[in-house]
Amino acid sequence: MANAKALMDIHPEVAEAVKAGRPVVALESTIITHGMPWPENDAMAGRVEAIVREEGAIPATIAVMNGRLKIGLSEDERKALAQTKDAMKLSRADLAFAMAEGRDGGTTVAATMIAAAWAGIKVFATGGIGGVHKGAETSFDISADLPELARTPVIVVSAGPKAILDGAKTLEVLETNGVPVVCYQSDVVPAFWSRQSPLPAPLRLDEPKAIARFHSVRQELELGGGMLVANPVPEKDEIPADVMADFIAQAQEDAERLKISGKEVTPYLLGRLLEITGGRSLATNIALVENNARLAARIAAGF
């Protein structure tokens, strides 16, 4: 741990808040490096950080820049990252590679969880987690986000598994690995762009403080790992599940035809959906990220 911290740059505001026990929310950076173009990516990231502050918490956007693991970015650093052309998409497997080679990279859910835990941050807000891809029974395409949730003690606030995934199989893998899935004020697992899905909520809690308390008890019992909080997108911003299903099917057919695989699948599908929906999917994506940041800050304040 001491050696790991020597490779990090923790923003002074973040370090002071963690030391004092004040609420801090980790934020990922692949949404900046791979989610949308400049300058929309920087504007979005700035709004999310502002929402965290409005709720009384300190934002800590996490990224790798010039081989240094950044826990919290200055405004200038965030703008520089948003304009980087060749940033890597970093998970557990290649986080150390990017640092060893002096590269720039956006952190996925898994890598952001690792960095947050190193820095003593308990809560992390993202859009949606990765999971089991459709057809994984032959491709074995399962996101590193799932085993990370089983091993790293961070609360991940999302809008559920990305709807391009196999939601039922994703929940099965999480259950097998002992990861609690808590649906916030909902009896079903939200489907990212949509509030509804056929998947019943494994657990339900209606207050941010109750989620913080649940996490604290798990840590006291030394059960290990984190938890997934599934937070439905606001009703005014959602795309109904039946509408979205047709768009997703078309995007997946296109990906199969082009033989897109591995880490390229999710960025391709999200980009293709942006085209198919005429920008509507991106607007919903931004709304749910903002909504998750707000809930994450309230959970962080509940400790």
Q: Is 162 a catalytic residue?
A: yes
pLDDT of residue 58: 98
Residue 82 in 3-state DSSP?
A: helix
Q: Is residue 4 scored above 90 in pLDDT?
A: no
* Number of other CB atoms surrounding residue 299 within 10 Å: 30
Q: Which has the minimum average pLDDT: 110-119, 170-179, 244-253?
A: 244-253
Percent of the chain with pLDDT over 70: 99
> How far apart are alpha carbons 185 and 233 in whole angstroms?
11
Q: Which helix (H) or strand (E) holds 49?
A: helix 40-54
* Number of other CB atoms surrounding residue 215 within 10 Å: 23
DSSP state, 168? H
Residue 100 φ then ψ, to 5°: -65, -35
Of residues 163 and 157, the one with the higher pLDDT is 157
> How far apart are alpha carbons 89 and 257 in whole angstroms?
24
Tokens of 30: 């692949």
Count the alpha carbons within 13 Å of 90 in the hemisphere toward its beta carbon. 31
> How far apart are alpha carbons 47 and 27 in whole angstroms?
12
CB 127 within 8 A of CB 289: yes
DSSP state, 53? H
Tokens of 110: 């898994």
pLDDT band at 107 (very low <50, low <70, confident <90, very high): very high
Q: Is 16 a catalytic residue?
A: no
Among residues 49, 162, 238, 263, which one is catalytic?
A: 162
pLDDT band at 1 (very low <50, low <70, confident <90, very high): low
Percent of the chain with pLDDT over 90: 87
Q: Is residue 137 scored above 90 in pLDDT?
A: no
pLDDT of residue 36: 86
Q: Is residue 263 scored above 80 in pLDDT?
A: no
CB 150 within 8 A of CB 225: yes
pTM: 0.95
Burial letters 117-129, b for 16+ CB under 10 A, else e: bbbebbbbbbbbb
Q: Is residue 166 scored above 60 in pLDDT?
A: yes
Q: Which has the minimum average pLDDT: 81-85, 181-185, 247-251, 262-266?
A: 262-266
pLDDT of residue 2: 56
Q: Which helix (H) or strand (E) holds 299?
A: helix 280-300
Q: Is residue 214 scored above 80 in pLDDT?
A: yes
160 Cα distance to chain centroid:
10
